[in-house]
Amino acid sequence: MAYWNDYYTPHTIEEAVEILGRYEGRACMIGGGTDLLLEIQQGHRPRMDALVDPTRIEGLDQIVEEDGWLVIGAGVTHTRIVNDPRMRQHGTCLVESCGVIGGPQVRNVATLAGNIAHALPAGDGTIGTLALGGEVQVAQASGLAWQPMEEIFIGPGQSTVDPKRMLIARIRFRPTGEHEGSAFRRVMRPQGIALPMIGMAARVRLAGEQITEVRIAIGPAAKVPLLAVKTMQALVGQTPSDKTFAAAAETALAEVQLRTSRHRASAAYREEMIRTQLPLTLAKAVERAHTGQAEPEGVGA
């Protein structure tokens, strides 16, 4: 059985939106297809009359600097993000989160836009982008608009971006600068196929010995990729230390909703991982903010 009849590679965003509109819900966006095609193959979603691939739209296959933002086009793969020197220095947690997705074959075709559009609470690239303060540019019949990423998620696998009618055209974030750093850590079951248990990312800004700004994302820790707002608020004005980070982990534990999943981890194990790994994630982000050195760690071979 063919999973689609027509495959489009439009040259403009407007054309992509027009094709989606023409098919009235029987066409959808495709990035690398690493989630979408498996889901169709396994019968978790219906086959499509048409797929719309944004990778030929001019500019969407690039990472550019624009008005003080780092902007990632919808066609940019995880491999491209991992290898980009600007991303490594100024979006380190995003590089570390994209760098653990699947294996090289997956990362060579899968896109960050697809990871975000899929809206899974544990999407690794999603967690990295959320911690950086990422925004998505959504294109639909009414035009283009930027939105903070945390506003698009509405439930597991659900977002306000309906890929049958709209597309994520670009993703952007403010690059980390002086006295800023970010880090991502993921705990997974290494036997056989890698099954991630929990991932977390943090971005911090320091002034002297004080944390002045911080963002923390954790997943899966709620029905949507979680921005740990209460933990962020509690950390502002604090001096980084083991004690501060241990207290932050306890605050985070009070705002997460952890589930037991049969093949991955129990809620109790995930709780313990937040207790041990969140302080390490924060400490690494602070170390990078202090030293300005941001060599990404844990990127898969």
Candidates 55, 100, 47; CA nearest to 74 is 55
CB of 197 to ligand FAD, least distance (A): 11
Nearer to ligand FAD among residue 28 and residue 234 (C-beta): 28
Nearer to ligand FAD, 36 or 285 (CB): 36
Rounded least distance, CB 209 to ligand FAD, Å: 35
| Residue 63 vs 101, nearer CB to ligand FAD | 101
User: Residue 78 Cβ, how far from ligand FAD at the closest point, in Å?
Assistant: 6
Residue 132, number of CB atoms within 10 A of its CB: 28
| Nearest-approach distance from CB 285 to ligand FAD, in angstroms | 20
Task: Determine contact, residues 101/81, Cβ cutoff 8 Å.
Answer: no
Phi, psi of 178 (to 5 degrees): -60, 140
The two tokens of residue 230 are: 């209460």
What does 205-234 look like in DSSP terms, one character per residue?
EEETTEEEEEEEEEESSSSS-EE-HHHHHH
Q: By C-beta, is 117 or 227 nearer to ligand FAD?
A: 117
What is d(CA 41, CA 127) in angstroms, rounded to the nearest whole number? 27
Pairing of strands 167-173, 69-73: antiparallel
Which residues bind to ligand FAD, rule: CB under 6 A? 28-36, 38, 54, 74, 100-102, 106, 110-111, 113-115, 117-118, 123-125, 161, 163, 167-168, 196
**Residue 190 Cβ vs ligand FAD, minimum distance, rounded to whole Å:** 12
Nearer of residues 133 and 196 to ligand FAD, judged by Cβ: 196
